[in-house]
Amino acid sequence: MSAADTTTALQDAPRHDTGTLGKAMQVLEVIATAQKPMRFTDVLKKVDQPRGTLHRQISNLIEEGLVDISADNAYTPGIRLLKFASRAWSQNTLRSLAQPHIEALHKATGETVHLGQMGDLEVIYLDKIESNQTVRMHSQVGKASPLYCTGIGKAMLARLPLGEAKARTARIEFHRYTPTTITSATALMRELNEIKTTSISHDREEHESGIYCVAASIASPDGETIGGLSVTAPRYRISDETIGEWEHLVRSAAYAIENDMAQRLGPRS
């Protein structure tokens, strides 16, 4: 399986292709990942395209059902994208292979289990099994979170070749979500080196206050970092002993997924 199998091409970092398709994808990405509906002037500020070109791009996207326009001329993701997303999710190789293993991990811990895949500077959640407890996570399948302050994100970064990890880290715009968020490339690289020695990553309430996560990365048969999985719970609900148990369970689940992938797919020729 290659990174091209990712289900979330629209949520990767903005591309700078100069061709017609590249320009259209840039516009679609801006609209599809916006926190709220965008107007023409909002999109114009985000993309480096002339007004006339941008107007044509948006008109074409609306005609194809990839973008919707409201009565007050605001743009939102088109319903046709749901069809694409559904097909991508159902046919994602990593998600299919990992499903029995994340179910077993959930059964063993009783807490929320996530499966994620790497975007550019984000982790995209491919699957989630919710906790049995009353207090649960607000994460969603398809949602993107930063690599540098999430368990899966840091696990995947640490698994990359050193040069690639440094290059991605250098492009991160750090934001302090909580008092424990890592906010510098130096501190992040230091932690990635520690993760390499244990094959386990921790989100110590770094992305969301009160939420703790233990994670491990997943590699394809040819060694390419393609994803990760984690167990997540409110910090007050887990002890240090529990965290140690999770480290073993998460590491074992990641290895099991890699073994299944090697047996079923084998390395690329």
Walk me through the domains of the chain, giving residue ranges and CATH numbers. Answer: 3-85 (1.10.10.10), 92-264 (3.30.450.40)
Residue with tokens 């077993």: 104
The answer to whether 135 and 234 have CB atoms below 8 angstroms apart is yes
**Binning pLDDT at 50, 70 and 90, where does residue 261 land?**
confident
Find the radius of gyration of the CA atoms of the chain: 19
Least trusted range by pLDDT, from 38-52, 79-93, 185-199, 241-255: 79-93
Q: At 143, phi and psi to the nearest 5?
A: -80, 150
- What one-character DSSP code corresponds to residue 38? B
Those residues whose C-beta lies under 8 Å from the C-beta of residue 187, and which sit 6 or more positions away, are none
Question: Is residue 247's pLDDT more than 90?
Answer: yes
Residue of 66, 1, 76 whose CA lies nearest to 31: 76
Question: Is residue 10's pLDDT more than 60?
Answer: no
pLDDT in tens, 115-138: 999 888 999 898 899 887 655 455
pLDDT in tens, 56-103: 888 888 888 888 888 888 898 887 877 666 666 556 678 888 999 999
Q: Distance (Å, rounded) from C-alpha 61 to C-alpha 67?
A: 5
Token pair recorded at residue 62 = 């609306």
Q: Provide the whole-model pTM.
A: 0.70
Burial string for 219-254 (b: 16+ CB within 10 Å, else e) reads: bbbeebbbbbbbbbbbeeebeeebbeebbebbbebb
Given this model, what pLDDT does residue 166 score?
Answer: 96
pLDDT in tens, 207-235: 999 999 999 999 988 889 999 999 999 99
The string of DSSP letters for 133-202 reads SSS-----TT-EEESTTSHHHHHHHHHS-HHHHHHHHHT-----SSTT---SHHHHHHHHHHHHHHT-EE
